[in-house]
Amino acid sequence: MNENQTKKDVSTRTRRAIIDALKHQGGMDVTSLSSQFSLSGMAIRQHLNALKEEGFVTHVEETRPMGRPTKRWILTPAADQFFPSGYSDLSVSLIQSMKEAFGEEGLNQLLAVRNQKMQKQYAQHLEGAANVREKLEKLAEIRTIEGYMAEVKEQEDGRLLFIEKHCPICAAAAVCTGLCKNELHLFRTVLGNEVQIERGEYMLAGGRNCVYTVVPVKK
């Protein structure tokens, strides 16, 4: 492999890593990216400009308490191709066919069967969790395997946030809202009565992530 090809391969890997970082962080400035990748600001800007030309990133002006506004780089919808899609075209087509064949009620029954199978699978994965935090961490594990890029964050007031940064079934959920409704019910079931969980930010409603607030129920 010649030197030029090696440099090209390194650039490709770096740009994909930048895309992954922006997906996880929801947007970053050049300084943060430089620190994370141990590259100069100039090198990061070159990668970002290349990704912008390809249509994968863009930037917004972000004001700071002091100093001039800075550019926060974010992904465009075109970057979704780098993340699991859950066979979106096929899923949408199947949902539409099921609606035609079985009607709305029949589709809901099929979703209920799907939900029961997932409930059993998740419950087995959460076995052995000693507390709510451990349950959420295990839930994040299995959801990440399924492509949701999930994580758990604790707030200063003790509340826990369950965050999903990608939705591999987003296209299907857009034509079948029961998928999202069933998932919230699924989470409530596997986490048990000891917690209250509510969905705040919601991708299908324009949110950057799907964010669930989890609060222990006082007894």
Indicate the residue among 26, 51, 82 that finishes a domain: 82
Distance CA 129, CA 78 (A): 38
pLDDT at 123: 92
Average pLDDT, rounded, for the chain: 85
Distance CA 184, CA 190 (A): 10
Same domain? For 62 and 93 the reply is no
Distance CA 136, CA 155 (A): 14
Indicate the residue among 36, 59, 82 that finishes a domain: 82
Same domain? For 49 and 109 the reply is no
Close Cβ partners of 158 (under 8 Å, ≥ 6 residues apart) = none
What CATH number does residue 167 fall under?
Answer: 3.30.1380
Side chain identity, residue 59: H
What CATH number does residue 52 fall under?
Answer: 1.10.10.10
Distance CA 37, CA 73 (A): 15
Indicate the residue among 82, 106, 140 that finishes a domain: 82
Number of domains in the chain: 2
Mean pLDDT of 93-114: 81
Tens-place pLDDT, residues 19-62 = 999 988 888 999 999 999 999 999 999 999 999 999 889 988 87
- Note down the domain range covering 21: 3-82
